[in-house]
Amino acid sequence: MEPAAPPPSPPAPPAAAPDSAGLVCAQGRNLRAVLCQRCGSRVLLPGAATFARRELLLPAMRKKAAAAAAGGGGDVLREHWLVRDMFSFENVGFTRDVGNVKFLVCADCEAGPIGWHCLDDKDSFYVALERVAHE
């Protein structure tokens, strides 16, 4: 009698989205500095933002010419750093109004959008965890 064949291995899990584990302290604030993925410029200092879950649609990160040619597109992002005071940022720029929204970009290299700000809520600036690096 032959030994039973081992059960088939389960399929590999899908690639995980950036995880907030290791980035959030017990008080819900950012443990590490938040940086631009492209140029490494510092966007936020540690402790400057709180972790928030909210579904927001951000346009795809592309160069300006490529974005114009593609005609839009975007990503629904769920994990963000919530900043309550725009003066907490070390380095951030804002796009022109798109309806009642301004998008956040790196002020040095203009990569973005890295975040979202609704003009109806003057005290809420969201920076998507997927769109930034941490140190």
pLDDT in tens, 68-92: 445 567 999 999 999 999 999 999 9
Contact yes or no for 127/56 (Cβ under 8 A): no
Tell me whether residue 59 is exposed, middle or buried, using C-beta atoms within 10 angstroms of its C-beta: 0 to 12, 13 to 18, 19 or more: middle
Q: Which amino acid is at 107?
A: A
Assign residue 56 the CATH number of its domain: 2.170.150.10
86 belongs to a structural domain: yes
Rounded Cα distance, 98 and 112, in Å: 14
34 belongs to a structural domain: yes
Predicted local confidence at residue 97, as pLDDT: 93
- pLDDT at residue 3 above 80? no
Residues of the domain holding 32: 24-63+75-134
Tens of pLDDT along 10-52?
A: 433 333 334 677 899 999 999 999 999 999 999 999 999 999 9
Predicted local confidence at residue 20, as pLDDT: 72
Query: Under DSSP, is residue 131 helix (H, G, I), strand (E, B) or coil?
Result: helix
Rounded Cα distance, 40 and 77, in Å: 21
- pLDDT at residue 120 above 50? yes
